Chains A and B, each alone.
Chain A
């Protein structure tokens, strides 16, 4: 015996989600069209004679990569300069980040423990500092680099300063987060027992958060290395500036060498960073 449920003729069901899906699709198309127009999306331009010739010439000159001793010496010098820019920039960033973190860290702010003299001012300062950090981090480091190149001229100074400012803000934010999320018990006890802020930080919070802070700083140094190369393209020295010059002269061989060196540099930094993080943690 079969049991079948018979549907009446006029309950033909439709997919309820179909309408919203179709609307969403139409909206997506309507938004996509102007986007394609504004970005001058024109794949055929890849095959225009002018561009093909330029690309072909450049790629053709990629091999053989320029391995002349003279050029390699240039490259070596630029690489060392890049590493120096990244390290100096990070050191300055660290120096900027430390006072910012200390002022910012809620764990030490009097406001947390309770009302007292300077409580209100402390909170206002807290908000201002947070705002300052957001502004510092909002402007990309490359923009800072360009500005400083205009102000200070071509060379590594612009790159170091740009790194110091943007990474300083970044480090301060992350340090504060790390410190806030660590166990603040010890520091609070020290503060209540009357010790000064610095001592409370050093003996109370630091041992707990140290390895995480070191790990993040080394990771940021790796990013700084890459950023230093990129900043070179706007004139802030190092490997990037060299590559920019080579590409402007359509010298594929030199560009190829620099690219290879760049990849090697990144790999090496990766290894050094991993070793440092393991050793210092």
Chain B
């Protein structure tokens, strides 16, 4: 289970390479963080894993199946087991948080339950429980356009938590939150994934968060995997190299700089699989 990518090539509509010959895999229940500068291809990678984009070349296997060979019905069923947390949650402004969260199970609900829930929410307790984990339960019935950026991101996370997918893909899920909330949210995501043995892949801009919460860090730059290591083996030199084009100091959520070994052991292996 989990996912398996082999020799993936993805090109942007304007011809530029988004992903070049990516080979990556993760087993069930793994937690992986993807870091890298803007434009590295993190979002494209996640969209690929979320079966929203087709690669131009290479093979994709998600949750044990090749998604693009499935029938429409089977594909829909697979997608209902994949939950995506967006950096900017695509929630209609006038919609209330409760409805937005309950929409997470639309893939599983029969049509009459979906329509009925619009008239009166079908599972207030369930939605509230997820929002309470993120300390936002008091805003359950608030309209989405009355929520701040960080609150909206938490609603997006709550939706995925409610969906209970087997594969969680989070694209910069805490970018609008302060360090305390960011850690709380990531903690909840990690707990949830662990409790259900779900695979969790998160792209993060803040390196300190990645190092703290994920046992496997993948560095992406210009569409290529630069390294694939556990946090202990990540050195400042590696990070500087990764973010060279963007900044001299690797970005962090917390105001303090990273505390890392300046130069690690010589035989660091780049791009090796974690097996």
Question: CB within 8 Å of B: which residues of A?
Answer: 1-5, 7, 12-18, 21
Contact = CB atoms under 8 A, between A and B. Distances in A.
Tell me the interface secondary structure of chain B in the complex: helix
B141 A2 contact: no
Interface in B120-176: 120-121, 124-125, 128-129, 132-133, 137, 140-141
A-B interface, 8 closest residue pairs, ranked by CB to CB distance from nearest? A5-B132, A13-B124, A16-B141, A15-B121, A2-B195, A2-B191, A18-B120, A15-B120
14 contacts: A1-B191, A2-B191, A2-B195, A3-B188, A4-B129, A5-B129, A5-B133, A7-B128, A12-B125, A13-B140, A15-B98, A15-B120, A15-B124, A16-B141
Contacts of B119: 21
A3 B98 contact: no
Nearest to A21: B119
A3 B161 CA distance: 14
Given A3-B188, A15-B98, A15-B120, 17 more contacts: A2-B195, A3-B191, A5-B133, A5-B137, A7-B128, A7-B129, A7-B132, A12-B125, A13-B124, A13-B125, A13-B128, A14-B124, A15-B141, A17-B96, A17-B141, A18-B120, A21-B119
B199 to A, nearest CB: 18
Contacts of B141: 15-17
Nearest to B132: A5
A14 B119 CA distance: 13
Contacts of B140: 13
Contacts of A7: 125, 128-129, 132
Interface of B: 96, 98, 119-121, 124-125, 128-129, 132-133, 137, 140-141, 187-188, 191, 195
Given A13-B140, A15-B141, A18-B120, A3 B133 contact: yes
Nearest to B119: A21
A4 to B, nearest CB: 7
A2 B112 CA distance: 34
Contacts of B187: 3
Contacts of B98: 15
A16 B140 CA distance: 10
Contacts of A2: 191, 195
A1 B190 CA distance: 10
B78 to A, nearest CB: 27
A65 B149 CA distance: 64
A14 B124 CA distance: 7
A28 to B, nearest CB: 14
A46 B260 CA distance: 82
Contacts of B137: 5
A4 B133 contact: yes
A16 B96 CA distance: 11
A149 B96 CA distance: 57
Contacts of A21: 119
Nearest to A14: B124
A140 B181 CA distance: 62
A18 to B, nearest CB: 6
Nearest to A5: B132
A14 B96 CA distance: 14
A12 B121 CA distance: 13
B6 to A, nearest CB: 35
Nearest to A13: B124
B181 to A, nearest CB: 15
A21 B121 CA distance: 13
A12 B96 CA distance: 19
A52 to B, nearest CB: 37
A5 B128 CA distance: 10
In this complex, the member of A2, A3, A13, A16 whose beta carbon has the largest number of chain B beta carbons within 10 angstroms is: A13
A1 B195 CA distance: 8
A29 to B, nearest CB: 15
In this complex, the member of A1, A5, A17, A21 whose beta carbon has the largest number of chain B beta carbons within 10 angstroms is: A5
Contacts of A17: 96, 141
A275 B228 CA distance: 65
B96 to A, nearest CB: 8
B68 to A, nearest CB: 36
A5 B125 CA distance: 12
A3 B128 CA distance: 15
A281 to B, nearest CB: 37
A271 to B, nearest CB: 38
A12 B141 CA distance: 14
A87 to B, nearest CB: 48
Contacts of B129: 4-5, 7
B54 to A, nearest CB: 37
A25 to B, nearest CB: 9
Contacts of B188: 3
B263 to A, nearest CB: 35
Nearest to A12: B125
Contacts of A15: 98, 120-121, 124, 141
A9 to B, nearest CB: 11
